[in-house]
Amino acid sequence: MNKELLERLSNANGISGDESAIRNIIINEIKNSGAEYYTDNMGNLLVAKKGRKAPEKKLLVSAHMDEVGFIVSYITDDGYLKFDQVGGIDRRVILGKSVTVGKNVNGVVSAAPMHLLNSEQREAIPSQDGMYIDIGASSREEALQYVSLGDSIQFDCDFMWSGDIITGKALDDRAGCAILIEMINSELEYDTCFSFVVQEEIGLRGARCAAYTVEPDFAIVVESTTAADIPNVAQDKRVCCVGEGAVISFMDRRTIYDKELVDAAMSCANENVKVQYKQAVAGGNDAGAIQTSRGGVRTLAVSLPCRYLHSSCGLISADDYSSAYAVVTQVANKILSNSL
C-alpha cells in the first residue's frame, strides 16, 4: 500500500458536500493512468479504465470521498461558533476536540466548565446545544473576519503509522479511495468503471446518481465498518475484528447482499487472503443506493474493520487493507471473466 497517499487523503478535509480537496488529490493521482474521468453535477468523480479485455458485463467499484463533521450554523455576539452535525457522530466524542473551521482556522469544541455543573449535569452527556467552538475571537465581528455561516468543520487528528496499525481521521472512507486509486493505476485485466462519490454520510446521495449514470450490472462498494473488538464488549457484539482481514457483509440496514458474490468473496480465504464475516446486521453504505438503481445491480460490500468509526480518530490495520485490496481485485476478475 501507498502510505504517503493514504496519509494525504486522511489529512485532507472533506465533509459531506465539501469534498473538492479529496477529489483534487484523486485526480492528481490518476491523471497519468490512461483512465478517462469526469466530475458530474453532484461532485462525483466517475472513472473508466481500459483493461486488456472488454467484458460482457459492466462492473462499478465505488468508494465515498466524504467524512463526517460539522457546519457553522450561528456566531454568538461574543465570537463563539454554534454548529450542527454533518453525518452521524456520537456526542460523547465531540467535547474537547481540536477542529479546523473553514480553510485553516483552528478551534476547540467546548462547553460549560465541569466545576460549574451540578452532580446530575456532570454525569450526563452534554447536549450539542450546550456546546460551542472557541476560535479565540472576542466578538461576532472579529469571528466573521475568519469564518462564515456554512463553513465546514473537521476534526484534527495526526496521521500515524506504527507497525501494522494506522490511525487518522476519515479512514472511512479514504482507505477505500486509496484502494480504488491503486486499482486504477495498475494494469487491469478487464475494462472497469470506478466512482468516488460524495455525500454518503448524509444519505448515500452521490452513489445514487453515480449508479444511475454508469448503469452497472455488478458493483463492489469498498468502505470501512465498525470494529468493536474492544474491552467490555461481548464476543457476539464485536461486529468484526481489526487484524482478521477484509469484512464481508451478508446484510445490513440498507442492503441484503448478493449471495453468490458474498460466497465468492469468502472463498478468497482459499487463496490465503484473510476474510471475515460482518457479524451484525447493522449500519449501511452506498450499496443500499446502488443496488436499487434502475433495474437493480448485483452488489457486494468489502470493508476494512475500523475501530472508533465516526470519531476524531480511527484505527485500521495495514494487513486488513491489503486483504481488502486482494478481495476486491479477485472478485472483480471473477465477475468480469464470467466465472460466477
List beta partners, residue 307.
315
Closest Cα partner for 58 from 186, 190, 189, 178?
Answer: 190
221 within 8 A of 301, measured Cβ to Cβ = yes
Q: How far apart are CA 62 and CA 138, in angstroms?
A: 45
The residues facing 300 across adjacent strands are 220
Give the residue numbers annotated as catalytic, written as ranges: 200
Q: How do 59-64 and 192-197 pair as beta strands?
A: parallel
Do 4 and 161 meet the contact criterion of CB atoms below 8 Å apart?
Answer: no
Closest CA to 220 of 295, 283, 297, 305: 297
Residues with Cβ within 8 Å of 31's Cβ and at least 6 positions away in sequence, in order, are none
Phi, psi (5° rounding) for residue 288? -60, -35
Residue 219, all three cell numbers: 458493483
Question: Residue 56 burial (CB < 10 Å; 0-12/13-18/19+)?
Answer: exposed
Q: Alpha-carbon distance 115 to 101, whole Å?
A: 28
Residue where the block lists cell 454548529: 83
